[in-house]
Amino acid sequence: MSETPERYDIVVAGAGYVGLATAVAIADAAPGLRLLVVDAAPDGAWRRDGRASAIAAAAIRMLDRLGVWDGIADGAQPITEMIVTDSKTADVVRPVFLTFGGEASPGEPFAHMMPNVALNGALRARAEALGVAIRGGTTVTGYDEGPASIEIHLAGSGGGHLAGGETVEARLLIACDGVRSKIRDMAGIRTVHTDYGQSGIVCTVAHERPHNGRAEEHFLPSGPFAILPLKGNRSSLVWTEPTREAERLVSGDDLVFELELEQRFGHKLGRITVEGGKRAFPLGLTIARDFVKPRVALAGDAAHGIHPIAGQGLNLGFK
């Protein structure tokens, strides 16, 4: 005789920012519900994400309302000004096409740069405080939808508590499993997809002089090059190149990478040093044709993956 599956009200697949924020928002609004969040990545893998994200004022208000922002606000760098230009960073005369300055409301900058690891950690802590169960190393491999519930098949993907397989039952499965969502495929939801043929190289640089909270977006011939201020004399970069060139740069010699970077970054913030690792993310547009199917809903990048040019992907997911 087979074991009775453990029952939840809602299972969230994916403990990224959107999956965790969704679980926190539901647990906060309906404390009686049983929630489970599973993530394919091993327990603790999220601690190795060295990136940072631009979080807009509206998303910060939401995080604040959910009790997540206060504990991490000190680690966030306010963006007080943003310039958009097609001049090179080293050009002496640099025409600026567009500037954004000021505040969303008095005393409230229009965005902050937040280290991903701090945001993910705070969302996890809040979810657990609200009684949400979180399991790493656990992949949703399939589901069977019935008239009153959905059976969700889980498999241990290493680095978690589940060695083999398990089935749990829920009333709703929320797929927050990212832009290459397998659950979207399982639900038979097709997408509109464009591959931009470019990748965004992400890394952090330390520099001698302060950035004064200024973000810059340079439209270089190979693609946008964004300099985003972090706490202290540090900035996060999103440097767009054709995918093959991006792969060559991140997998090649560190010295070559720094020289290429210096040419684009310029010298106005003094000497720069690359901190930590560098990674290239292939860029594309993926929009699901449906966001819901019976007992399954998509959220975040699983529903809509967009170009990072304006730093809106995660912000859109939070909405």
Footprint of ligand FAD (CB under 6 A)? 13-19, 38-41, 53-54, 139-140, 176-178, 182, 200, 202, 238, 281, 300-301, 308, 311-315, 317
Residue closer to ligand FAD by CB (options 89, 318) is: 318
Query: Hey, what amino acid is at 177?
Result: D
Q: In this structure, what token pair is assigned to residue 140?
A: 């949703």
Residue 178 CA from chain centroid, whole number: 9
Report yes or no: 253 and 209 within 8 Å, Cβ to Cβ: no
* Minimum distance of ligand FAD from residue 186's CB (angstroms): 9
Q: What is the CA radius of gyration of the chain?
A: 21
Residue closer to ligand FAD by CB (options 140, 297) is: 140
Ramachandran angles phi, psi of 307, nearest 5° = -65, 140
* Minimum distance of ligand FAD from residue 238's CB (angstroms): 5
Report yes or no: 54 and 111 within 8 Å, Cβ to Cβ: yes
* Minimum distance of ligand FAD from residue 140's CB (angstroms): 4
Closest by alpha carbon to 110, among 99, 100, 96, 98? 100
Strand-pairing partners, residue 144, are: 151
Residue closer to ligand FAD by CB (options 140, 272) is: 140
* Minimum distance of ligand FAD from residue 231's CB (angstroms): 15
Strand-pairing partners, residue 113, are: 54, 77
* Minimum distance of ligand FAD from residue 150's CB (angstroms): 14
Report yes or no: 233 and 210 within 8 Å, Cβ to Cβ: yes
Positive or negative, the CA dihedral 293, 297, 39, 49 is: positive
Alpha carbon distance, N-terminus to C-terminus of the chain:
44
Residue closer to ligand FAD by CB (options 95, 188) is: 188
* Minimum distance of ligand FAD from residue 227's CB (angstroms): 12
Say which residues have a Cβ less than 8 Å from residue 26's Cβ, sequence separation at least 6: 10, 33, 35
* Minimum distance of ligand FAD from residue 4's CB (angstroms): 22
* Minimum distance of ligand FAD from residue 15's CB (angstroms): 6
Residue closer to ligand FAD by CB (options 18, 130) is: 18
The 3-state DSSP class for residue 279 equals strand
Residue closer to ligand FAD by CB (options 178, 223) is: 178
Q: In this structure, what token pair is assigned to residue 308?
A: 């990072």
How far apart are the C-alpha atoms of 173 and 149, rounded to whole Å?
A: 10
Closest by alpha carbon to 181, among 56, 44, 290, 42? 290
